Amino acid sequence: MADASETESTDTPIHVESEAHLDELVANTSVLLVDFYADWCGPCRLLEPAIETVAADTSAGVAKIDVDEAPALAREFDVRGVPTLLLLANGDPVERRVGLEDETTLRTLIDEHGR
């Protein structure tokens, strides 16, 4: 069985289940892309391959938050529609995108704020 450090590798999106878990990720990741999504959301499903590739191919951390499972986190970050992407750099929100984004745009945003 894998331990927590193996399952929360930066090459796959990390599913966040609590505010404490998100706080830990923010504290330990200089650039973190947070994907607020819902299983029933068509655009969220279309975005999934780009999110997975960005997680695998960039140095940024990638977190996923299911708004139905973590409504308090969605409220805290004023998520009113899904998908909502929030980019945090050194713990500060630097970009917010609502709707479907392509992989190139996500990489560009990460590159701009990862320096």
Catalytic residues, by residue number, are 41, 44
Tokens of residue 83, six digits: 């998908």
Q: Which residue matches tokens 């796959």? A: 12
**DSSP category for residue 15:** E
DSSP string for residues in 31-61 = EEEEEEE-TT-HHHHHHHHHHHHHHHHSSSE
Tokens of residue 40, six digits: 């029933």
